Amino acid sequence: MTNPEYTIGINPLKVLRLLWAVIAMLVLASITGQVIKYVTGHDYVYGFVTKFNVDDELTVPTYFSAVMSLTSSVLLAVIARLTIARRGPYASHWFGLSVLFLYLAFDEACRIHEMAIIPMQKLFGASGYFYFAWVIPAWVIIAALGILYFGFFRKLPKRIRRLFLTAAALCICGGIGFEMISGHYVQRHNDQEPVYITMITIEELLEMTGVSLFIYALLEYIKQTTPNVTFRIGPGGPAKTGNETIRNDPSPGNAHTV
């Protein structure tokens, strides 16, 4: 007896709209919690203030960001697998990005980079805009990635390349740019003032928007290069196009099994 097959369609634009709707709700919840905290003096409210604060650990926004980064990692791994299957270039670059976003997912959930702040401050004597000193090695890593991935980005389809660069700009502006500004501020004031909280809210909004746009770009790339992808649960094997292995038909428009 043949098992029935079902098709689940994924619309990249609808996914993006859903992610943006969730991001808007999470940011609004965080702002509401902070307004309640500063207006009424209540900093808990049955856990609402703490659990939706974008600047706290183990919160709903933090876990949502981690899940988005993990989703990006999975999609990048799928693209790497499909690229290998059709013997396309830059499979290792896709896989490298997958590993990077896997780390970013863990970092988002566990705030690993914050553990490096004090050691980096002592190492570099950092202050001012580099008060959150983890941004120093972060800039070095970004520069290295820019060099290593220059050829990779040039070969991307024009629209996908533009989406990637926009997503990267949002993430860097939020995750590092506003981190530097808020670090400069908090060194002279404290991390409980409304101005600092506003900076952090903008930072997290830009980061989440950037990652959501990146997910959209990855889905669009898969749609353009391999519109029909079958995920098979069972023993691994070569990717296939119809009844033939991909070695016999490397065209990107066919259905691939992963």
Asked if residue 209 is part of any domain, the answer here is yes
Q: 136 exposed, middle or buried (CB, 10 Å; 0-12, 13-18, 19+)? A: middle
**Enclosing domain of residue 74:** 12-229
Q: For each of the chain's 258 residues, which pLDDT tens digit applies?
A: 566 677 778 899 999 999 999 999 999 999 988 888 878 877 767 677 778 888 777 789 999 999 999 999 999 999 999 999 888 899 999 999 999 999 999 988 887 877 778 888 888 888 888 888 889 999 999 999 999 999 999 999 999 999 999 999 999 999 899 889 988 888 887 766 788 888 889 999 999 999 999 999 999 999 998 877 776 666 655 555 443 333 333 344 455 555
43 secondary structure, DSSP code: S
Q: Helix, strand, coil proportions of the chain in percent (round to 5)?
A: 70, 5, 25
At position 207, the amino acid (one-letter code) is: E
As for how many domains the chain has, the answer is 1
Residue 102 CB neighbours (<10 A) = 17
Of 203, 204, 201, 173, which is closest to residue 68 (Cα–Cα)? Answer: 204
| Residue 3 within a domain | no
Q: Please say whether the beta carbons of 136 and 127 come within 8 A.
A: no
Does any domain span residue 246? no
- Report yes or no on 143 lying in a domain: yes
Q: Is residue 222 part of a domain?
A: yes
Q: Taking a C-beta distance cutoff of 8 angstroms, is the pair 136, 183 a contact?
A: no
DSSP three-state, residue 88: coil
List CB contacts of 22: < 8 A, sequence separation 6 or more: 64
pTM of the full predicted structure?
Answer: 0.85
Is 68 a member of any domain? yes
